[in-house]
A and B are shown apart, each in its own frame.
Chain A
């Protein structure tokens, strides 16, 4: 039984079978896994954007827990520092100054960006390295850096623009939020949730998180946000990181959160249809070539041809 740390009501206390490992995989990149013997309770992280104060404690906690050392940057004219996800930071706050056209009021939208842990993960679909990306039956999508080859296909596969390649490293690898799979496996919530002072980030079973979100949405609606809602996009089969948004009808105002994310058609073709089409084309053509050799027979040069050449070259006059 998990003892998910002391969270204040109404963030749920939760009861999750925690220890998980190889036997709990439901998907494995560029390979297949046997169906797991048991189904883990799906977990989820809920980020309540309406409660987030943008303090970046989660960013620091993430750096600390993952033992990352991000370089000291510069100010580029906003609070978005570090400005983007990179191999040395798995979550960043994205600040947007948005004037609500209805109320004319300024709203400072602060969204914690990071891996969404899709039910249908585009990164995993795109990954060519067997086992480099795995998905557990509790919903966590994790990268195995032993197996990652640093090709960057996951970057192309992800509909949320999350994975980053350590480009300057000796051995490039892809990095992203692990949903603190190592912490979850021992009954602790993710480091970001643990550090969040306002409980804008909470963690539990996906069902509990959805229920918790309902209460938050009700509260937001009572405050005049009639379009408040849960962001759990069906285009990727739902996600194990969800947002409560005051303006769920316009997710794109939150620093470009995609409205209806799904794995890009280009990626679907590349990793689906084309795999087969490519093999068929190559295999078919090779077969035709062989058949041609067999049926048409070799095209040989005849004695007459040689003689003609001799004549032309004048060597017969020698």
Chain B
């Protein structure tokens, strides 16, 4: 039995009546996509930070030489862009803000400090924090792409003035740092919310996890008939 799915339900999402209940959260395609993004980003960091500060220049060694780091970095950037936007087009609807998001955000600080999550409104597939991370990353990836292309002298030298090049490189570094900050928060939340990581490793979470953090989504799956053995 199927009905029209709510906007934030992904095609592969499914509740399995096991003990404990298992909920399919990320398809293998999404996981591959995500980890591609992660690996690309780590490589970008290594090559980028090698050029960011002399104390990190050793990171260029991962690529064999500074020249290789410089040469790979923009290509990796393109890979990241494609990978990230693979995720983006999959999840952008799910990340549209909903009514409960502002109330969720308002209550967040107390929860972060160790308070009871039951005080927060029920949220869908993604909570407001995740949505914010999603959209901020989406913007920052675009900024990194544009400023990155402007720095890619092999192909785009002639399109900018020297002064623009200077501004571009500054923006690229500032946003790079912001991306790192965003990712730190992202990873730190994954670690803090036990049971989250397996959504990206094995593709499913427990029903309890879904009940606790994304109850609205769980309800949508159940009421939507996405339930199986």
Contact = CB atoms under 8 A, between A and B. Distances in A.
* Binding between chains A and B: yes
B211 to A, nearest CB: 4
A171 interface: yes
B207 A310 contact: yes
A298 interface: yes
Nearest to B15: A313
B211 A306 contact: yes
Given A172-B153, A306-B211, A309-B218, A270 B169 contact: yes
B211 A274 contact: no
A306 B205 CA distance: 11
A279 B180 contact: no
**Chain B contact residues, majority secondary structure:** helix
Contact of B169 (A130, A153, A172, A277): A153
A81 interface: no
B174 to A, nearest CB: 7
Contact of B70 (A149, A155, A286, A296): A149
B18 A31 contact: no
A298 B212 CA distance: 14
A99 interface: no
Given A153-B51, A153-B169, A266-B167, A285 B18 contact: no
Interface string B153-181: 11101000011011101100110111011
Interface stretch (B85-93, B134-142, B188-196): B188-196
A282 B181 contact: yes
B188 A292 contact: yes
> Size range of the interface on A?
35 or more
Name which of A155, A267, A269 has the most chain B CB atoms within 10 A of its CB.
A155
Nearest to A29: B54
Given A165-B153, A306-B20, A156 B166 contact: yes
> Size range of the interface on B?
35 or more
Interface string A282-305: 100110011011011111111111
Contacts of B20: 306, 309-310
B76 interface: no
Given A270-B170, A312-B218, A312-B219, A293 B17 contact: no
Interface string B9-32: 000000101111101000000000
A68 interface: no
Contacts of A318: 17
Contact of A309 (B185, B191, B210): B210
Interface stretch (B97-105, B112-120, B123-131): B112-120
Given A156-B165, A285-B181, A315 B19 contact: yes
Contact of A302 (B60, B71, B166, B212): B212
B57 A299 contact: no
Interface in B37-94: 50-54, 57, 60, 65-67, 69-71
A269 B155 CA distance: 26
Contacts of A36: none
Contacts of B178: 281
A155 B162 contact: yes
A114 interface: no
Nearest to A128: B51
Given A165-B153, A269-B170, A285-B185, A150 B207 contact: no
Interface of B: 15, 17-21, 23, 50-54, 57, 60, 65-67, 69-71, 112-114, 117, 151, 153-155, 157, 162-163, 165-167, 169-170, 173-174, 176-178, 180-181, 184-185, 187-188, 191-195, 206-212, 218-219, 222, 227
15 contacts: A130-B57, A149-B60, A150-B71, A151-B70, A165-B154, A266-B166, A278-B173, A281-B181, A295-B114, A301-B195, A301-B212, A306-B21, A306-B208, A308-B208, A312-B219
